[in-house]
Structure 1
């Protein structure tokens, strides 16, 4: 084996499967690549597009080799192109009879619907809830049933609470949907996507983003806030409101933290500190008796991996306790260290 071929093989072998996929998509062009990405899951889209953005320095020969390998695989596995719905329906009914054909077709088109619904998992839950609110309850239930479970739960939460039980009941009773309903659902999906593409902008909370930046700022936060007040004090108040974050507990006076340790159960600290910065964990542990620190560490270890949503909820609950104590004057809460003079 000559050295040139060995070098080419070793360079292309450095790319993992995701990177090779990214390279093939880049070679397809924007329109074709976008159609392929519609059939990826949310996680797959994130990994592949991240890889597409980072991909660089690929030699032409190596790119051709990878793309050629893709088409070799395609020719080996593709065979005849997929049949149309009408052709497949007629063929299966003639071969299997109406009952068996109906079940098989429902499975096939159910998968198609789920793939189509994947496109909506990027849309804000509140937007989806508003859009389907005018549909018949049964169509709403079908829509939620085919939407990925996490997205479906978020959309349900944005709908009227006194209506949740009926929708869940309708979803639980679903067994299958006929072709006409599947067609209606597909049309609803397309209308929803068209509506969102024309009306939805990219939302951003500037005050929240500014607060997050300042909370993590390593410089003089107090001086920065004083300078911001020269621009607009109302903006500073809005930033301060958004700075009320779990991270601020890492820079409180000892007396404040001792009181919080007394008010918040150890089980809540064990959850809230999961995945937090080491400096924050150390700041809170310094305010605890040694036996409490040991109990905290043991409980964190026993809990193992926990859902991020559960951690966030616990942090919010703790910050609610902090807010109440601060509002009542029981603790002095520092969002940042204000400048001082002698």
Structure 2
């Protein structure tokens, strides 16, 4: 049975006394704790032979460590052989605390939305410094939750970030650590529910869309409009039958169709053009080709307007929107 690094660690922890196992776990960061925790479930029924192999490997490494006199390179080599180069590199970083301030170890236990909430009031240079210290996938999740207007500037700052004085890093560490300890950011409602979650529930449960929108509209018309947009989008036009598409397209002008179709996926564009009379489709296709590049905002606005026109026709009973609760008749 061939085990991964986290699985070997998990098996070793299961064999140790609780205090020793807890001490080792405390040295891992949040991601590694999660990996080892998952691995514990898969190695709990390991065979005696597998246990012997892992213990033998641990003892071999232990004997090597006793004789090490070459310093960090030898330690890196030992850990690399035992756990793999990638994981060994992370452990070496944690052994040398100078490589990364304690602050960023604390951030490893925070959700991306919480870190974004923590960083939002800070100066962009502080935000850039913190993001630059975090793993790229995690930093990307945090960046996406910061105000969109400032994201390009943050990327620029990260790209041009130079060395930071240790004293400045320590000051930042102390300031943000105090805020982490003193505040517990509240998870935004969008993370718990939101329009997409509501739309998914309506679609999956077969809830009457019209009644749901009417109920929401009495409380918040703006929210009802947003939910309506989420329930049926431009991409959903691909699920309309040919008669509904023809009815919809007859009421749309070229000024709306050209930017919308210019940015549409090729299959959807072909479907919509195929629902038009041949001569009209050829003329529209020529206009799309001759139009040149279209601004993303312009295309998105046109696509939303077309989806809104479809929803309006459905509300009037002219066409039916499939898969969105009871069909309109």
What TM-score does the superposition give when structure 1 sets the normalisation length?
Answer: 0.51
Where do 4+ consecutive residues of structure 1 move more than 6 Å?
316-319
1:35 aligns with 2:26: yes
- Residue deviations 1:83-120, cap 9 Å, x none? 9xxxxxxxxxxxxxxxxxxxxx9xx6663249936844
**Distance (Å, rounded) in 2 between the aligned partners of 1:65 and 1:246:** 60
| SS of equivalent to 1:248 | helix
**Distance (Å, rounded) in 2 between the aligned partners of 1:327 and 1:20:** 56
Q: Which residue of 1 aligns with 2:231?
A: 243
1:324 aligns with 2:311: no
* Matching residue within 58, 69, 84 for 2:45: 58
**Which segment drifts farther, 171-180 or 236-245?**
236-245
| 8 A Cα contact 1:250 1:284, kept in partner | no
| 8 A Cα contact 1:325 1:331, kept in partner | no
| SS of equivalent to 1:144 | helix
**Distance (Å, rounded) in 2 between the aligned partners of 1:340 and 1:156:** 38
* Matching residue within 250, 265, 274 for 1:269: 265
Q: Give 1:184 deviation, angstroms.
A: 2.5
| 8 A Cα contact 1:23 1:52, kept in partner | yes
Residues 286 and 325 from structure 1, CA distance in 2 versus in 1: closer, same or farther, beyond 3 angstroms? closer
Q: Which residue of 2 aligns with 1:146?
A: 133
Q: Which residue of 2 aligns with 1:234?
A: 216
RMSD: 5.3
- Residue deviations 1:33-86, cap 9 Å, x none? 65354164xxx6776555555x276146356336524633541564579x9xxx
Residues 20 and 337 from structure 1, CA distance in 2 versus in 1: closer, same or farther, beyond 3 angstroms? same
**Distance (Å, rounded) in 1 between the aligned partners of 2:217 and 2:25:** 40
- Residue deviations 1:251-289, cap 9 Å, x none? 32325556499654466415xxxxxxxxxx7x8865555
- Which consecutive unaligned segments of at least 5 residues does structure 1 have? 1-11, 84-104, 271-280, 293-313
Q: Which residue of 1 aligns with 2:288?
A: none
Q: Which residue of 2 aligns with 1:180?
A: 167
Count of paired positions: 258
**Distance (Å, rounded) in 2 between the aligned partners of 1:19 and 1:48:** 7
- Which consecutive unaligned segments of at least 5 residues does structure 2 have? 72-92, 219-223, 276-280, 282-295, 315-320
